[in-house]
Amino acid sequence: MEPPVILFDGVCNYCNAMVNFVLRADREKKLRFAALQSEAGQRLLAKHGLPPDSLESFVFIERGQVWDRSTAVLQVLRYLPWYFQPARIGWLLPRSWRDGLYNRIARNRYRWFGKRDACMIPTPEVKARFLD
């Protein structure tokens, strides 16, 4: 069985900060990661019928199911420690509201947080959690 995977925009500073946050918070080290621009990310997008140029979305894949945007974020919260669980109250909001906020951040993320010239290169201790 494949481990749960987070696909993220590898050149987005905000996205990289969120991945680093999840890397630290996922103490059981169950989650795996791949940049959407990477070969592994592109393979997973193709495998699940998602467009290869859809870099505006955060994608979470678990047990063959695919979630994106705010729903993906809420799914990831299940893997974080107990003190992050109150954030799951987001499920009470309609998806259109949650995704509206998500889309606003996604549209402005490069302007607000900047962009890298290349995808993040993980440290050796973190590299094992990234898909090749």
Across the chain, what does the average pLDDT equal? 91
**Backbone phi and psi for residue 38, each to the nearest 5 degrees, phi listed first:** -75, 165
Task: Tell me the C-alpha distance between 130 and 37, whole Å.
Answer: 13
Which residues span the domain enclosing 49?
A: 5-128
Task: Tell me the C-alpha distance between 14 and 10, whole Å.
Answer: 10
Number of domains in the chain: 1
- pLDDT of amino acid 95: 96
Q: Is the pLDDT score of 54 beyond 90?
A: no
pLDDT band at 56 (very low <50, low <70, confident <90, very high): confident
